[in-house]
Structure 1
Amino acid sequence: MASTTSTEQSGLFGHLLPEFRKATGIDVKVVAVGTGQAIDMARRGDADVLFVHDQAAEEKFVADGFAARRHPVMYNDFVVVGPKGDHAGARGKDIVEALKKVSAAHAPFVSRGDKSGTHAAELRYWNQAGLAGAKGSGYRECGCGMGPALNIAASSNGYALTDRGTWLSFRNRGDLVVLVEGDTRLFNQYGVMAVSPARHPHVKAKEAQQFVDWIVSPAGQAAIAAYKVGGEPLFFPNAGR
């Protein structure tokens, strides 16, 4: 399965996959990379299942014939974290206004810069702020996963966009706190697709479909809902909605 660093680093797969194995006897090997890289893997036929969070890219994957259907699975949201003192004054509910303030203050902002679903969302918000080419002198791309990006933000007292699931399971927070949340634009949907054997005959199509069927079933959805860190759910199942 090609999937994202957020599903892996949040600990979700460590909880889900043993449940799937119990139900089906099937072992799943996860390759966790940014969503863009995961989709590229699946396009090459190097994965049987794709589980990611960039809806526009997922729909193109289906439209291009690499999967028969995209299934919504679960959601959480993105948040902006930053130093408790919030020297840029970004705190609030409006992601666009927050980025404008970070840019104007030339505050450190750590971008994943890895073509992941989180990176795609971040670039979308900069575009909405009209700042695609003017993010401030503190902006830096690490070309890394969510955990390493948060480590850099913590060590530099900077800002970063993160999915809430990774943030809740992240321990090296330093002085970072959640500063921006609650904007409807921060909604973060995940989808799953079985790679089409018509495009790549060698894929394990039967087992891939079994995973898709299980994760969107009541049992799979209950397993997602049951995963919590510190009593707080990291993802919310919404298959079929």
Structure 2
Amino acid sequence: MRHKTLVAGLGLLLTLLLAACQPIQAPAAAPAAAQEPAAPVPGAGRLILATTTSTQDSGLLDAILPDFEAQAGVAVDVIAVGTGQSLKLGEDGNADVVLVHARNLEDAFMQAGHGVRREDVMYNDFVIVGPAGDPAGIQGSATAAEAFAKIAEAGAPFVSRGDESGTHNKELAVWKEAGIEPSGDWYISAGQGMGAVLTMANEQQAYTLSDRATYLARTLEGTDLVILVEGDPVLFNPYGVIAVNPGKNPAIQADLANQFIDWIISLPVQEKIAQFGVDEFGQPLFTPDSAAWRNR
């Protein structure tokens, strides 16, 4: 017992001596206060362009935007969604400029004060495409509405954009003209961009409404869909560019947006638009339509 007590006492003494030999440490510093993240810097060398998918899927933006980026010394961030979503981005102050194709929606956007400047840029047209066998027999229809009525009567599959885009907006107008509220298994609402809808229609051998530029660009990748109805004046498809109201967001690049608009409506860029697609298809995918081009 005495031995155990002695050992325990020696152990305690050794522990105290070792503790005394340790260097004295300063009290731990209080953790630094978390720093607020840096706010986005307006004019940080980029322009946010919200646009319809057709300008992207057709390849037009890839062909012309590098010229603007080089001239302005900025990067252009492209958000390619439907016209409705593009305008919503502008309305919410999340884009500097929008390039879209639904004149009624553009006019409403301007009237609501979401935009401060709108200019005509170009136009093309919509076409109704479908399988070469044309099960609904729409080829030769005098109007788009007549073609849509035949599709509905036959219950032939039709793929809709279903995304509040300019193309979807036009499609709904044609259904309205035909006096039809489309519904049923034959009517497929995709909620996708034009390129994806053309892929779906091709896979399902369905009909759809497409802008001509995206359809022609898709033929380079291969598609079984063919143009069955075209030329109806209701299928006219104009594009406009709008500078977003800088009051929406202090980070909006108003000067840069106007510089972009001046650039895209200028004669040199309008000429590039006039030539885009000619080598591949023997025709331009878009027709220039700025005031400068019309008055040249």
TM-score grouping bracket, smaller chain normalisation: over 0.9
What's the CA shift string for 1:138-193, capped at 9, x where partnerless? 11101111111111111111100000000010035543100000101100000001
Whether 1:214 and 2:263 are equivalent positions in the alignment is: yes
Whether 1:236 and 2:284 are equivalent positions in the alignment is: no
Residue pairs, 1:188-227, within 5 angstroms? 188-227=237-276
Whether 1:161 and 2:224 are equivalent positions in the alignment is: no
Q: Quote the Cα distance in structure 2 between the aligned partners of 1:126 and 1:188.
A: 17
Name the stretch that deviates more: 8-17 or 26-35: 26-35
Which of the two has higher C-alpha Rg? 2
SS of 2:75 mapped into structure 1: coil
Q: Quote the Cα distance in structure 1 between the aligned partners of 2:92 and 2:67.
A: 28
**Structure with the largest fraction of helix:** 2
SS of 2:113 mapped into structure 1: coil
Residue pairs, 1:124-203, within 5 angstroms? 124-131=173-180, 133-135=181-183, 137-171=185-219, 172-203=221-252
| Contact kept? 1:45, 1:195, Cα under 8 Å | yes
SS of 1:50 mapped into structure 2: strand
Q: What residue number does 1:21 align with?
A: 69
| Contact kept? 1:5, 1:34, Cα under 8 Å | yes
Whether 1:98 and 2:150 are equivalent positions in the alignment is: no
Pairing partner for 1:122 from 152, 171, 179? 171
Name the stretch that deviates more: 103-112 or 12-21: 12-21
Whether 1:36 and 2:84 are equivalent positions in the alignment is: yes
Q: Quote the Cα distance in structure 2 between the aligned partners of 1:146 and 1:134.
A: 19
SS of 1:98 mapped into structure 2: helix
SS of 1:68 mapped into structure 2: strand
Normalising by structure 2, report the TM-score.
0.78
Pairing partner for 1:111 from 130, 139, 160? 160
SS of 1:14 mapped into structure 2: helix
The alpha-carbon deviation at position 10 of structure 1 amounts to 0.4
What's the CA shift string for 1:28-69, capped at 9, x where partnerless? 110000110110001111000110001111111111111122
Q: Which amino acid aligns with 1:170?
A: R
| Contact kept? 1:33, 1:145, Cα under 8 Å | yes
Name the stretch that deviates more: 70-79 or 133-142: 133-142
Whether 1:7 and 2:55 are equivalent positions in the alignment is: yes
Q: Which amino acid aligns with 1:118?
A: T
Q: Which amino acid aligns with 1:115?
A: E
Instruction: Return the structure number with greater relative CO, CA threshold 8 A, min gap 6.
Output: 1
| Contact kept? 1:91, 1:179, Cα under 8 Å | yes
1:205/1:151 Cα in 2 relative to 1: closer, same or farther (>3 Å)?
same
Q: Which amino acid aligns with 1:185?
A: V
Q: Quote the Cα distance in structure 1 between the aligned partners of 2:275 and 2:67.
A: 11
Normalising by structure 1, report the TM-score.
0.95
Q: What residue number does 2:23 align with?
A: none
Q: Which amino acid aligns with 2:50?
A: A
Q: Quote the Cα distance in structure 2 between the aligned partners of 1:134 and 1:43.
A: 30
Q: Quote the Cα distance in structure 1 between the aligned partners of 2:115 and 2:199.
A: 35
Q: Which residues of structure 2 form unaligned runs of 5+?
A: 1-48
Aligned residues: 240
The alpha-carbon deviation at position 136 of structure 1 amounts to 5.5
Q: Which amino acid aligns with 1:4?
A: T
| Contact kept? 1:48, 1:195, Cα under 8 Å | yes
Q: Quote the Cα distance in structure 2 between the aligned partners of 1:21 and 1:147.
A: 26
